Amino acid sequence: MERMMKEIRRELTEHILPFWMSLKDDENGGYIGWVDYDLTRHPEAEKGCILNSRILWFFSEAYMLLHDEALRAHMEQAYQMLLRMTDETNGGVYWALNADGSVADGTKHTYNQAFAIYALSAYFRATGNRDALNRARALFQLIEEKCRDAGGYLEAFTADWQPESNEKLSENGVMASRTMNTLLHVLEGYTGLYEAWPDDQVRRRLYFILDILETHIWNPVKRRQEVFFDHEYRSLIDLYSFGHDIETSWLADHTLDVLEDEGLTARIRPILQAMARHAMEAAFTDHGFANECEKGVVNQNRIWWVQAEAVMGFMNMWHRYGDEAFRQAALKQWAFIRDKLIDPRPGSEWFWYLHEDGTPGADRPIVEPWKCPYHNGRMAIFLLREAEEAL
């Protein structure tokens, strides 16, 4: 375990951080939004708000861990780009800008607003910038006013907040009115906001989301989260999303820590334990963590973010409950990442995915609007922080 933590620190400081720092776009602002598999960089590519928010979150959290003053310029670069991605007239953040700063996609997605809250809250905690906190609070109010109904959170809207079909977060041949993925990341964004600004209204919304998780998302019979829903929370497809289940198991646990409510914790934590254990049993082998299982068919691709979240979920379960099976799984999972998923080519980062035989998927880029430093960077930052706090 000690060796693993040394390797993770080295991966963060000598590989992940330098790679993303090198993508700073001084001509157009923000960070280069596309790097091909062959490592060709495309400064002319669109700049996605999800990618930029995750970059801002990453540099902010890395600064709070490492106290490296070189990271300040990168936080500011990403923050200024997020301001450009903000619709100052109608409120909210756009889906994407062109490299020249014009709007490429004006969709206002709840998922996107939540990630901007997550990023702005971390940036405020790192810098004390009150404008960032005020913007995070405004986005929280906007989600509550525009993106929620009595039953939960809605998905996609036009630039002027008219309902829009949810192509961006609907997959597997379904068109979802509600998704587990959006709910999870609203929970994550609101948790980050509550850590920066412990407001009662944010706290109430966190309870509301955890209640939806318990009553509508969690399937106790199949020990999984359902993924895509109609408006009334009827599941639209037989799908196990192993990556989201292991991610939820530790993210929601963190929310429970932040809320410090023993009764709520006693209610929700057994769900998270069952979720993590089933994901480990169903998806984990010595050769990484499977992606998902649709209608009984397991997708054996090893996707970068799923591998990182598996380490986080396993470590969380081991730290909390001392279960040796989870500790061993974490060690094996990190070894798989270290030996197979990290791209050894100079000027690269992690492969997007590996085939079942361990060969990299050359049809996917190294950077694109969803391929970011958030999952692997967060794995490193949170585990290193936890190790420091344990000393």
Amino acid 228 reads F
The strand pairing partners of 148, in sequence order, are 153
- The pLDDT score that the predictor gives to residue 389 is 83
Q: What is the pLDDT of residues 122-156, one digit of tens each?
A: 999 999 999 999 999 999 999 999 999 999 999 99
Q: Where are the beta strands (DSSP E) in 200-248?
A: 218-219, 224-225, 228-229, 239-241
Domain 2-390 has CATH 3.10.129.10: no
Q: Is the pTM of this model over 0.85?
A: yes
**Hey, what amino acid is at 125?**
R
First to last CA, the chain: 14
What local confidence, expressed as pLDDT, does residue 291 receive?
A: 95
User: Both tokens of residue 275?
Assistant: 């979720």
Q: Look-up: residue for tokens 């525009």?
A: 146
Token digits of residue 281: 């049993």
| The pLDDT of residue 286 | 87
Separation CA 310–CA 165 (nearest Å): 31
Residue 203: its pLDDT value, please? 98
pLDDT per residue as tens digits for the range 262-315: 999 999 999 999 999 999 999 999 899 999 999 999 999 999 999 999 999 999
Q: In this predicted structure, what is the pLDDT of residue 208?
A: 98
Nearest to 244 by CA among 169, 297, 318: 169
Beta bridge partners of 164: 156
Residue (of 323, 313, 292, 322) closest to 383 by Cα position: 313
Q: What local confidence, expressed as pLDDT, does residue 391 receive?
A: 66
Rounded Cα gap, residues 103 and 329, in angstroms: 44
Q: How is residue 240 written in tokens? A: 């196990």
Contact indicator for 35, 366 with CB cutoff of 8 Å:
yes
Q: Which residues of the chain have pLDDT under 50?
A: none
